[in-house]
Structure 1
Amino acid sequence: MRKRLAITLSLMMAASIVAGCQAKSEDKLVIAARGGSHVTAMEAVKAEFEQKHNVKVEIIGLESADLKQKISLDAKNKNGAYDLIMADDPWMPELSEAGIFANLTELGVEEDADFEESSLALGKHPYQTGDLYALPFSGNVQLFFYNKQLLDNYNAEVPQSWEEVLHIANKAHEEDNLIGYVIRGQQGNPIVSDFLPIFWAYGGQVFDEQWNAQIDSEAGQQALDTYIQLAAVGANYETTDIVSSVSEGRATMALGWPSWFIAGETASADYAPIPSKATANGAAASTGMIGNWMMGVTANSQNKELAANFLTFITSSDTQKKLVEHGGVPTRKSVYLDSELAAKYKHFPIMLEALQNSVARPRTAKWSRVEEALGVELSAAIAGTKSIEAALSDANKAVNEIMQ
């Protein structure tokens, strides 16, 4: 009897040990990520962390709108389905105010001076000054793309002002019937992202310090007039045609995100930071629109400390150097300035320069609504259904109503 009891107890203990081992081996972190290259890059490097921490890292890739919706819905659950989430930087004020992110400062994640300052600021709430709620996972900033052969044909240097851009665009259109400049004039995010760098160059700001709209201003009128003149000697295209027209020499210049024109080491057009001046003799301003993908730990994660460890790992300089080889975009200065990487990825120094002179879209939780309202009025001005004055006046009114 005693022998049988001992055997039974031994079997129970063995089963318990096996069960414990199985439970431990099944521990996992779940990441809700922007699908595509971000997922591919993380999948390529996650094994090191999995082996060190005996954990499985599951990465769920989603389209942008679907990602935001799922993040918001899951935040209502006591026990979240996601331990880490990626967020487009304009979402940060909205998601932070909703309490969706865990406070990284309280989790012991320290600010690292190696992160590009403009990128790191995006993860703080309040913006720039508050605690850290997300780290910059993927750096991005708009650049000025041009066809070098065409600029050479007109003996033109890379323009430093929008006055020079318009001069070259007019010349290409009048002399060779080419597309002088390509705008991205579709309503909403496309036209607003395309217009704001010009607006900033003229000294414009969407809001004053009290969140009153400043779109209907001298800067707004000058910038929109320039934008309409560029459209008159150019074309209004969507992304694919913007890239092909500049790359193939049918158009001279356009704004764009690096991923449109640059794949790995290969760029289909030449590039530079966005012109920082309105006129050749004007004052310089920051004009590069920053567009980072951030990553943070969810407030309802059941494994916050391990999730914070993964976040530190995936954004470390060593990991970022590996991510680059799989399509990742750095957010650390040391990675951009690494001599071997800079020799291979020749756009890195230009991107770092643009990031260090970049502008974040206004940090309000209502930005998506503001962007939509502004985009409607800008599109009306481009189409000629409203005058510049009427479009800007109506935009100012609509934005103020949203902010109230």
Structure 2
Amino acid sequence: MSADFPSNWQCIQVIRDDFRHPGDGTACTEQHTDAFCLRGLLERVSDEIEHPVRGSDFLGYIEMPLLFVGADIFAEAQRQTLRARHFPKKSRTDFFFVFSYLGHHPCIAGIGNARFFLDVIPYPVHGERNVFDQVAFPGVVFFGEEREKQMDKVFLFEPVAACGRMIMFHLCAGLDEDFRNIQHSKLNVPNRHSIDCILIFQKKYSIDFVCINTRNSIEFGFRTGGVSMSKKIAVFFLAVCVLVGTVAAQKPVKLVIAGRDGDYGNAMQVAVDAYMTKNPNVTFEVLKLSGDDVYQKTVIDLRSGTGTYDLILIDDPKAMQYQQAGWLEDLDAMFKKAGQNLDQDFIQNVINLCRYPNGPSGKLYSLPFVGNVSLFAYREDLFAKYNLPAPRTWSDVLVAAKKISENEPNVSGVSFRGVKGNPILTAFLPIFWSFGADFFDAAGKPAVNSPEAVKALKFFLELAKYGPKSTPMNNTAQIRDGLLAGTVGIAPEVWPAWLGKINDPNESKVAGKVKITKHPSEVKKSSPMNGIWHIAIPSSSKNKQAAFDFLTFLTSRETQKLMVLNAGLPPSRKSVFEDKDILAKYPWYPAIMDALENSVARPRTLFWAEIENMMGGLVQEALIGAKTPEQVLNEANAKLNEIIKQ
């Protein structure tokens, strides 16, 4: 502690530990009257604290942790000791105390006017660990009749350690004599949150104080006596710095991440290792799963509410299912609780997909783990050799593919993935969209057999004539390896993860000769396919705050840069795309940012996986000549209509 106490004041330092909720974390009931039961964690609250007082069933809440307090339960639990009649109706707030959590708003609780209320006061947040600076609070909002009441300034002393936690007390006179009846009350609170403070208050002519021991419960132990005071001395102030931050930082926390394999897993491991260096109390279990597995496992877990995972990766077209089902934590609310705002460095077109409904006004349920987007690649040396202009339209691409194919016997004019399902459909979509086609019309009806869609598919098949005969069997490895070997003139669909070695002369025969850019346009603008992966906190997570702390670290500018340099995955922040160290290693990164800013998201539907498989299978049938473009798209439109009617 750091304060000059009168010699005859007694102050008791608290013991820090977890709280344990006596019930199942749901609503409190009469079964819990053996203790003052606080009603679980409130998942979402208004930043302006607009919840009204509703008689005796609601008194207030504290923002972090968010707790409901039941007046009837409070009174019944304490029997004869804390009934409302013990408080003078006209008395002002007799006392309240303010405590805080590392990285969150300080919180205030008080008893007065027959109310036990809790509320939040905002404050400036400074530094990486949100360490409190020396600040003053001009007021605080209360519930009900006390809502507009202002408190005098509470001064906060300078923290003595980087991870220090500041505890503040407001001492008031005027407690009623009946308050002496409170002797051994206990408050049980939900787990995973700790409060460390000493409550000291003035009762008329003497100083009473309360030790709040946070070992599984809050124990109120009142002692009377102390220094005689003049009744005119109504308010005392005391600020205490309790050095619990370091202890809190050492509390073991294990975060389980449902992540991806391959480069995604490598990037996540880079971030995890960096975080554990700064936070040795936090350990991780990172599951490196396939795209299908991460989807299936997380859906099963979130649907059941088991709470196995603290963070999960979500493929963008599947995000709506998670958002709509209410499975994800509201990150807007978590940022507000932390006194932070989502900065404007994220690419807007990307962050909009993390909101639901999609767009700047939707609630934020995830952040972009990787700024993935489809790209266009072509051999600049061959274009220069045959005086071909840089392709601005898909029509330009067709001309160039034909020229290269006819004049370079060892080079395919064009090469794209043709395996049915996701691969071929992903290759086709940038053409499909730029020709003015879409899956649904303005009225929401299936439109994949529109005239624009037919033209797009016919063009796609014409372009395929200048590719290898193996196109229907080609997948990622064939396109990537063909680019490195110099046997591909144009790759209409490439992804950032494929390009890490494209300029390495030890790996690529055409290092420095491949141009990476966004897709050409045609009837409409360039339409790269957005392929971001979201990272989100499940509402069922048992470690939401620790998960949020890691999430903000993971998506920070510094960590994104670290993941780019060490794992090669593209970021989602503009500042990282423009970083000089990044550009020195990956000179095509401005093209990725350009593509992301122009990218098109796949349809927002719960049935995307089924639609993708269906469309990808039919487009391949057109590629191998089994059906005409018209037959394929008419069949696709009919099946799409059946799918969305499920």
d(CA) in 1 for partners of 2:284, 2:433: 41
288, 295, 320: which is aligned to 2:535? 295
Aligned to 1:358: 599
Aligned counterparts, 1:207-356, within 5 A: 207-235=440-468, 236=471, 237-254=474-491, 255-263=493-501, 266=504, 270-278=514-522, 283-327=523-567, 328-356=569-597
Give 1:52 deviation, angstroms: 3.8
Structure 1 runs of 4+ aligned residues shifted over 6 Å read 19-24
Kept after mapping to 1: 8 A contact 2:418/2:424: yes
Aligned to 1:4: none
Kept after mapping to 1: 8 A contact 2:350/2:371: yes
Partner-residue secondary structure (3-state), 1:137: strand
Partner-residue secondary structure (3-state), 1:82: coil
d(CA) in 1 for partners of 2:249, 2:415: 57
Aligned counterparts, 1:20-169, within 5 A: 25-47=251-273, 49-50=275-276, 51-52=278-279, 54-108=281-335, 110-128=341-359, 129-169=361-401
d(CA) in 2 for partners of 1:22, 1:112: 27
Give 1:24 deviation, angstroms: 6.2
* Structure 2 runs not aligned, ≥5 long: 1-14, 19-214, 217-246
170, 177, 190: which is aligned to 2:423? 190
Quickly say closer, same or farther: Cα 1:45–1:371, change in 2 above 3 A: closer
Kept after mapping to 2: 8 A contact 1:265/1:346: no
Q: Deviations over 1:21-66 (max 9, x none)?
A: 8996432111111122333333333355444473223222111111
Q: Which amino acid aligns with 1:293?
A: W
Give 1:220 deviation, angstroms: 0.9
Identify the range of structure 1 (49-58 vs 110-119) with the bigger mean alpha-carbon deviation: 49-58
Aligned to 2:413: 180
d(CA) in 1 for partners of 2:570, 2:291: 18
Scaled by the length of structure 1, the TM-score of the pair is 0.88
Q: Deviations over 1:261-300 (max 9, x none)?
A: 324974766233343322xxxx541311111111000110
Kept after mapping to 2: 8 A contact 1:197/1:274: no
Kept after mapping to 2: 8 A contact 1:143/1:271: no
Q: Deviations over 1:232-259 (max 9, x none)?
A: 1212122211122233232311111121
Quickly say closer, same or farther: Cα 1:39–1:184, change in 2 above 3 A: closer
Q: More strand per residue: 1 or 2?
A: 2
* Structure 1 runs not aligned, ≥5 long: 1-12
Does residue 615 of structure 2 align to residue 374 of structure 1?
yes
Give 1:154 deviation, angstroms: 1.5
Kept after mapping to 2: 8 A contact 1:276/1:284: no
d(CA) in 2 for partners of 1:243, 1:324: 19
Give 1:172 deviation, angstroms: 2.1
d(CA) in 2 for partners of 1:148, 1:204: 30
Kept after mapping to 2: 8 A contact 1:77/1:300: no
Quickly say closer, same or farther: Cα 1:261–1:325, change in 2 above 3 A: closer
Kept after mapping to 1: 8 A contact 2:611/2:643: yes
Identify the range of structure 1 (42-51 vs 206-215) with the bigger mean alpha-carbon deviation: 42-51
Q: Deviations over 1:65-114 (max 9, x none)?
A: 11111111111344411101011111101222233211212222643211
Aligned to 1:3: none
d(CA) in 2 for partners of 1:64, 1:370: 17
Quickly say closer, same or farther: Cα 1:264–1:168, change in 2 above 3 A: closer
Alignment identity in percent? 35
Partner-residue secondary structure (3-state), 2:257: strand
d(CA) in 2 for partners of 1:123, 1:180: 38
d(CA) in 2 for partners of 1:52, 1:318: 16
Identify the range of structure 1 (25-34 vs 309-318) with the bigger mean alpha-carbon deviation: 25-34
Aligned to 2:137: none
Q: More helix per residue: 1 or 2?
A: 1
Q: Which amino acid aligns with 1:372?
A: N
Partner-residue secondary structure (3-state), 2:559: helix
* Structure ID, larger Rg: 2
Kept after mapping to 1: 8 A contact 2:249/2:281: no
Kept after mapping to 2: 8 A contact 1:215/1:392: yes
Q: Deviations over 1:193-223 (max 9, x none)?
A: 1111001111111112332112111211111
Quickly say closer, same or farther: Cα 1:304–1:210, change in 2 above 3 A: farther
385, 402, 405: which is aligned to 1:170? 402
d(CA) in 2 for partners of 1:331, 1:151: 31
d(CA) in 1 for partners of 2:352, 2:589: 20
d(CA) in 2 for partners of 1:340, 1:115: 19
d(CA) in 2 for partners of 1:47, 1:89: 26
